[in-house]
Amino acid sequence: MTKSENNVQAIIKDAINGNQMAFSTLLDTYWKDVYGFQLKRTENENDAEDITIQTFSKAFDKITSFNNEYEFKTWLITISKNIHVDLIRKRKRRLDTAHNSEEIIEVLDATPSAEDQIITKQNLATLLRHIKKLKPHYQKVINLRYFNEMSYADIATELAEPMSNVKVKLLRAKKLLAQMLEAK
Structure confidence at residue 176 as a pLDDT band (50, 70, 90): confident
Are 115 and 149 in contact by the 8 Å Cβ rule? The answer is no
Match domain 114-183 to its CATH number in 3.40.50.720, 3.40.50.2300, 1.10.10.10, 3.90.180.10.
1.10.10.10
pLDDT tens, residue by residue, 115-138: 545 544 554 667 778 888 889 988
Q: Where are the domains of the chain?
A: 3-97, 114-183
Q: Which pLDDT value is given to residue 108?
A: 42
97 vs 99: CA distance, rounded Å: 7
Q: What angle separates helix 163-183 from helix 152-159, to the nearest 10 degrees?
A: 100
Which residues touch 126 (CB under 8 Å, ≥6 apart)? 181, 184
pLDDT tens, residue by residue, 34-45: 999 999 999 888
Q: Is the pTM of this model over 0.85?
A: no
Match domain 3-97 to its CATH number in 3.40.50.300, 1.10.1740.10, 3.40.109.10, 3.40.50.720.
1.10.1740.10
Q: From the CA atom positions of the chain, what is the Rg in Å? A: 18
